[in-house]
Structure 1
Amino acid sequence: MNEFLWPVRVYYEDTDAGGVVYYANYLKFMERARTEWLRTLGFEQDELIAQHNVLFAVRRVTLDYRQPARFNDKLLVSASVTEAGKASLTFTQAIRREANNVLLCDGQVKIASLNALTFRPRTIPEELQRKLVV
C-alpha cells in the first residue's frame, strides 16, 4: 500500500515535565494512524471482532527517536505496510513535524492477527488481505 498519512496535534497532556512529547506517546500517535488506515480501507476494529472474530495486537516495536516534538506542534504520522504474512502485518512508520518536514521518530511495528476469544494467531480476513499491496 502507498504511504498513509494522519495529522496529529500535540496537546499539553502529551508532553512531559521538559515540555516535549513523552516518548510513549509517539506509539499512541502511530496506533491512531494504523487505526485510521484501517478505516480508509473500510474496516472498523470493533466490526472485525464482531464479524470475523479477529483483533490486532502489537507484537514487536523498534523505534528511533531523532528529535523532540513539542506542545502545539502539528505532526504527520505515516504508516506503510512493508510486509504482510497470513497472520501478521509489519508497518514502517514515521512522525514528522508538518511545518518543516523534520523527521522526529521512525521505526517498524509488527502486528499480529489474533482470534478474539483465544488470543491465538488467526489468518487475516480475506477482504483485508485483498486490499493489501506490499
Structure 2
Amino acid sequence: MSDKNITTSHFDYQLRVYYEDTDAGGIVYYANYLKFAERARTEWLRSLGISQSFFLEQNLGFVVRRVEMDNKASAKLDDLLTISTTVKQLKKASLTFEQVITNQEGTLLCQLTVLVASVNLQRAKPCAIPEQILGALTSAL
C-alpha cells in the first residue's frame, strides 16, 4: 500500500468536563486534552468495529509517536466538549490524525496533530497494520 493523503469526513465525540479534569480554579489542566483526544480516537476505532481488546488479542497497539498541540482557549468545569477527529494520512504502519476540540459555544479550544504507529506489543517493534484493520480503516475513509 502506498502512502495515502486523505480528505475524509470527521468523527465527533462529546464529553463533559468533570471536576477531576480541572485545577482548583475550574480550568481544564492542559494534559487532559491529550486524554480527551485519545478517547475520541479510541471511540472512532470502536465505531468501525475495532476494540482495544481486539488489538490486544492481535498483540498489536497503536502508540503515539508524535503530538503537536496548540492550546487556543481554556475549557472549564461542566463544559460540553466536542472532539472532531479526521484521519489525514494512512501509511502501512501509521496513521496521522488531526483533532479539534471545541466547547458548546463552538469556541476553538485546542488543535492537535497526532501520529500513531502500529507496534507488535510482544516484540515492541513497529509492524504493518494488519489487513483486517487496514480494510476497516480504508472503508471508513
How far apart, CA to CA, are the structure 2 residues paired with 1:42 and 1:119?
25
Runs of 5+ unmatched residues, structure 2: 1-7
SS at match of 1:132: helix
> How many residues were matched structurally?
132
Runs of 5+ unmatched residues, structure 1: none
Cα shift at 1:3: 0.3
How far apart, CA to CA, are the structure 1 residues paired with 2:137 and 2:20?
35
How far apart, CA to CA, are the structure 1 residues paired with 2:113 and 2:80?
22
In structure 1, the residue matched to 2:125 is 120
Cα shift at 1:106: 0.5
SS at match of 2:88: strand
Cα shift at 1:17: 2.7
For the 8 Å contact 2:33–2:110, the answer to whether it is kept is yes
Q: Spell out, residue by residue over 1:36-76, the C-alpha distance to the aligned partner (whole angstroms, 9 max, x if none).
A: 001000011121221x2211111100010000000000000
Q: Spell out, residue by residue over 1:16-42, the C-alpha distance to the aligned partner (whole angstroms, 9 max, x if none).
A: 133210000000000000010010000
Q: What TM-score do you get using the length of structure 1 for normalisation?
A: 0.93
Segment of structure 1 superposing worse, 39-48 or 69-78: 39-48
Say whether residues 1:19 and 2:21 are aligned partners.
no
- What letter matches 1:97 in structure 2? N
In structure 2, the residue matched to 1:57 is 63
How far apart, CA to CA, are the structure 2 residues paired with 1:78 and 1:127?
25
How far apart, CA to CA, are the structure 2 residues paired with 1:22 and 1:30?
14
In structure 2, the residue matched to 1:131 is 136
Pick one of 77, 80, 84 that aligns with 1:74: 80
How far apart, CA to CA, are the structure 2 residues paired with 1:105 and 1:34?
15
Say whether residues 1:37 and 2:44 are aligned partners.
yes
For the 8 Å contact 2:48–2:137, the answer to whether it is kept is no
In structure 1, the residue matched to 2:95 is 89
In structure 2, the residue matched to 1:6 is 13
Q: What TM-score do you get using the length of structure 2 for normalisation?
A: 0.89
